[in-house]
């Protein structure tokens, strides 16, 4: 196999690394513009994870882990200390020689305090990127090289096909328009991948992603909710706050109860937007 062909394997794998975030967005059936966690007005279950995408991602990740384990097993680490530990040993060894004491063994790269392993992450897609740049380790043997390159190319093709399929539209909440009688439209709004605006299928009103997000925030802000509902609502308006944090606010009285077990989302938003303090023991 020539060098050009084996280099393609590296290109293919890095191509997948670049597109990993798009695969992740696809995993949840959207094009990455979801107002995450939005409660639907209809009874429909939320879109399940796309099994085809998750299987492909799992398969690529498993292979990356396998190759990473081989690299860690077969490639010794390097000194990351700019040879400081070796220079230190030279000084000690010279001193020992002068005084007739036994010379200690030279430090190997395994002992280096700044030792650099061939793989330094277990997180995708960085893991796959580190495997890709070590492609040479898998392309020395002709037979192995063929398998490695075929597989990389096969993965790339499958990722390409997956991403070429149009993403199912993403749910962005109920329609905000009201008829002359003041009744809400009741339509559910969806946006296609990469689109900023759409039209309600029920009433024909145009909307943008940003307007929808603002509408959802306003509609929810003065509402009274249970702590669990607050966790969900914060997610909708783009604040990732852990459930445990919200329950701590309640427990410590930082989030004030309005009526029996109900709290104001606006207060929670306030707390969520405050600069985070160091965790202090209760
Ligand atoms: Zn060292
Ligand atoms: Zn509508």
Q: What is the pLDDT of residue 217?
A: 77
Task: Compute the distance from residue 53 Cα to the ligand 1 centre, in Å.
Answer: 43
Q: What is the pLDDT of residues 44-93, one digit of tens each?
A: 444 456 788 989 999 999 999 999 999 999 999 999 898 899 999 999 99
pLDDT tier at 184, thresholds 50, 70, 90: confident
Task: Compute the distance from residue 171 Cα to the ligand 2 centre, in Å.
Answer: 14
Task: Compute the distance from residue 112 Cα to the ligand 1 centre, in Å.
Answer: 4
Question: For residue 250, what is the DSSP state?
Answer: H
Task: Compute the distance from residue 226 Cα to the ligand 2 centre, in Å.
Answer: 29
Please give the Cα distance from 247 to 255 (Å, whole number): 9
Task: Give the CA distances from residue 230 to residues 239, 240, 261, 267, in Å, rounded to whole numbers and listed in that order.
Answer: 11, 11, 12, 10
Locus of tokens 């893991």: 127
Ligand lying closest to the C-alpha of residue 109: 1
Ligand lying closest to the C-alpha of residue 201: 2
The CATH number given to 208-282 is: 1.10.238
Task: Compute the distance from residue 202 Cα to the ligand 2 centre, in Å.
Answer: 5
Please give the Cα distance from 20 to 30 (Å, whole number): 14
Ligand lying closest to the C-alpha of residue 207: 2
Ligand lying closest to the C-alpha of residue 84: 1
Task: Give the CA distances from residue 250 to residues 88, 113, 168, 247, 258, in Å, rounded to whole numbers and listed in that order.
Answer: 56, 46, 38, 5, 11
Ligand lying closest to the C-alpha of residue 212: 2
Task: Compute the distance from residue 177 Cα to the ligand 2 centre, in Å.
Answer: 6
**Which residue, among 104, 61, 58, has the nearest Cα to 85 in the 3D structure?**
104
Q: What is the pLDDT of residues 13-49, one digit of tens each?
A: 999 999 999 998 887 655 444 554 444 444 444 445 6
**Which residue, among 238, 198, 185, has the nearest Cα to 214 in the 3D structure?**
238
Q: What is the pLDDT of residues 103-136, one digit of tens each?
A: 989 888 888 989 999 999 999 999 999 999 999 9
Q: Are 179 and 38 in contact (CB under 8 A)?
A: no
Task: Compute the distance from residue 196 Cα to the ligand 2 centre, in Å.
Answer: 17
Domain-wise residue ranges, the chain: 3-75+118-164, 208-282
Q: How does DSSP assign 5-57, residue by residue?
A: HHHHHHHHHHHHHHHHHHHHHHHTTS-S---TTPPPSSSPPPPPP-HHHHHHH
Q: What is the pLDDT of residues 130-165, one digit of tens each?
A: 999 999 999 998 999 999 999 999 999 999 999 988
Task: Compute the distance from residue 37 Cα to the ligand 2 centre, in Å.
Answer: 21
Task: Mention every residue, 6+ apart, whose C-beta is less than 8 A from residue 36.
Answer: 235, 236, 238
Ligand lying closest to the C-alpha of residue 107: 1
């Amino acid at each position: 196999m020539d060098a050009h062909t084996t280099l393609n394997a590296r290109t293919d794998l890095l191509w997948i690394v670049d597109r990993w975030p798009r695969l992740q967005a696809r995993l949840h059936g959207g094009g990455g513009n979801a107002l995450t966690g939005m409660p639907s007005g209809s009874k429909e279950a939320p879109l399940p994870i796309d099994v085809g995408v998750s299987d492909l991602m799992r398969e690529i990740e498993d292979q990356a882990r396998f190759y990473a384990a081989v690299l860690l097993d077969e490639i010794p680490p390097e000194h990351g200390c700019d040879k400081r530990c070796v220079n230190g040993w030279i000084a000690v060894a010279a001193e020992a020689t002068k005084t007739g004491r036994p010379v200690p063994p030279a430090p190997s790269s395994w002992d280096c305090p700044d030792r650099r392993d061939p793989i330094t992450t277990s997180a995708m897609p960085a893991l796959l990127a580190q495997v890709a740049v070590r492609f040479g380790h898998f392309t020395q043997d002709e037979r192995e090289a063929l398998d490695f390159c075929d597989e990389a190319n096969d993965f790339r093709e499958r990722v390409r096909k997956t991403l070429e399929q149009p993403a199912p539209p993403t749910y962005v909440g109920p329609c905000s328009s009201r008829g002359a009688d003041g009744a809400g439209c009741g339509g559910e709004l969806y946006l296609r991948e990469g689109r900023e605006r759409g039209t309600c299928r029920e009433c024909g009103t145009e909307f943008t992603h940003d307007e929808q997000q603002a509408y959802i925030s306003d509609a929810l802000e003065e509402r009274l909710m249970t702590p669990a509902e607050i966790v969900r609502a914060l997610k909708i308006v783009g604040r990732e706050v852990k459930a445990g944090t919200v329950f701590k606010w309640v427990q410590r009285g930082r989030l004030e109860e309005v009526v029996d077990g109900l709290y104001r989302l606006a207060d929670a938003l306030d707390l969520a937007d405050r600069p985070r303090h160091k965790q202090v023991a209760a």
